[in-house]
Chains A and B, each alone.
Chain A
Amino acid sequence: MSAKVQVQTTINNEPVEFLCEPRQSLLECLRDIVGLTGTKEGCGDGNCGSCTVKLGDRIVTSCLVLGVEAAGQSITTVEGLAHGNTLHPLQKAFLENAALQCGICTPGFLIAADALLQKHPQPTEEQTRFWLANNLCRCTGYDKIIRAVQAAAHEINANSGAAQ
């Protein structure tokens, strides 16, 4: 076995250090070492998007990132979306629009949608569908997810007074 490596990161705005083998994916490190089990494993090969996290300023499938590659980087997982007991507008909108059933894909959709709204504060349906093409949901048929993302965008923009 290869020597374990000490990795220093910032996860959800907190400094976090973990010890991992070079072969371990960021997904394994988050779930099995750091104990943040909100990020889910689906396919394990980058197709389904369930394990989406934000790494630096980009979303990635954490099954296709080595934990050691995260050294010095900041990571946002689904655990970092809510403020204390106040849900993120996306989380609220997913609940209100019934945009989930089994829930396995939901953390990945939330992180991906959050990155979308930062880039396009009021995305069109087409922008939303293309952006979320790397996230698969086998329960909802997507329409409710798209509606939830648009509802969250409306709420965020109404609250911030943005005219986008």
Chain B
Amino acid sequence: MKAFDYAAPASLPEAVGLLASQPAARLLAGGTDLLVQLRSGRKQADVVIDVKKIPELNEITLAADHSLTIGAAVPCYRLTDHPAVQAHYPALAEVASWIGGTQIQGRASLGGNLCNSAPSADSIPLLIALSASAHIAGSAGRRSVPVEAFCTAPGRNLLAPGELLVSLHIPAPAPHSGAAYLRFIPRNEMDIAVVGAGASLTLANGVIAAARLALSSVAPTPLFVPAAGDSLVGQAPTPAALEAAARLAQAAASPISDMRGSAAYRRHLCAVMARRALELALTRAQENH
């Protein structure tokens, strides 16, 4: 690995200042993507800025209304093991236990998963389904963007030079709502999704009041399909309605063929995984009083 300097700022202003003065800096949270990329030469850095000592990037805060703030550097195991996350965001606790294996979960963060911006990132479709926003800080101030707008191309995102991801914010789940992320992988664990689907669904008076659906591994970025969720609004939660929404997600996908699956196989899986994710979100919505 090419030589670099290391800094571990203890505050957000310090990190932002450092980032502004160091154009060739890279941010290190869990390092499970970055260190592989630096070692292979796919990315370069003069300075590696370790963000794990910044308090805002390390918090998990469940507000009184049950909205959730997750610091960008919080490792996955802390979400999986967090009783309030398990209780109010079971799909999030689940997805955090599916990224890599035990060792990776000790380091890797959802913030890093988002900033790495892989089309196959497991957490992103669920964050989109949960209407999460990304809170960003830079020398020009702070801004917040919906997660579905964050990734712009494989490995690329809208962070400007000098900006860093501070946290992910998930609004309070509505009563009678549920969410789910499911993926298809050939192994039982430690694998990259051939296709993944994240869904959320809210019931009111026996009909679907809101729904969101997003897919992974089927487009250059994690793919939000507003039409799929919108098609469900006002409908009774019947198998036919869920199937029709899943078909809309399938139609929006533009998968490629690679070592993990052919485009045709992925297209088939889009409808299957989208339908199953909606079904699980519905089950959870029905159980969530």
Contacts and interface: CB of A to CB of B under 8 A. Distances in A.
A66 B47 CA distance: 13
Interface residues of B, number: 30
Contacts of B39: 44-45
Interface in B1-31: 1-6, 28, 30-31
A45 B36 contact: yes
A135 B100 CA distance: 11
A49 B35 CA distance: 15
B226 interface: no
A145 to B, nearest CB: 15
Interface in B133-155: none
Given A22-B5, A66-B6, A66-B35, A49 B103 contact: yes
A9 interface: no
B6 A68 contact: yes
A154 to B, nearest CB: 22
Nearest to B50: A69
Interface residues of A, number: 34
A63 B35 CA distance: 9
Interface in A51-81: 52, 55, 58-61, 63-66, 68-69
Q: Which of A23, A132, A135 has the most CB of B within 10 A?
A: A23
B104 A46 contact: yes
Contact of B102 (A3, A5, A64, A134): A134
Contacts of A21: 3
Contacts of A68: 6
B146 to A, nearest CB: 30
B50 A23 contact: no
B73 to A, nearest CB: 12
A132 B35 CA distance: 22
A134 B100 contact: yes
Given A2-B4, A5-B6, A66-B48, A134 B36 contact: no
A164 B194 CA distance: 39
Contact of A58 (B28, B38, B106): B106
Contact of B48 (A22, A58, A60, A133): A22
Interface of A is mostly: mixed
A107 B35 CA distance: 22
B189 A64 contact: no
A162 B1 CA distance: 47
Contacts of A3: 5
B101 interface: yes
B268 to A, nearest CB: 27
Contacts of A23: 1-4, 38
A4 to B, nearest CB: 10
A102 interface: no
Contacts of A69: 28, 31, 50, 52
Nearest to A54: B106
Contact of B3 (A2, A49, A52, A58): A2
A112 B4 contact: no
B100 A46 contact: yes
A2 B190 contact: no
A2 B5 contact: yes
B5 A60 contact: no
Given A47-B190, A64-B107, A112-B103, 12 more contacts: A2-B6, A5-B6, A23-B1, A23-B38, A46-B32, A58-B107, A61-B104, A64-B36, A65-B31, A132-B102, A134-B100, A134-B104
19 contacts: A1-B3, A2-B6, A21-B3, A22-B5, A22-B48, A23-B38, A46-B36, A46-B100, A46-B104, A52-B103, A58-B106, A59-B103, A59-B106, A61-B103, A64-B30, A66-B50, A112-B103, A133-B188, A134-B103
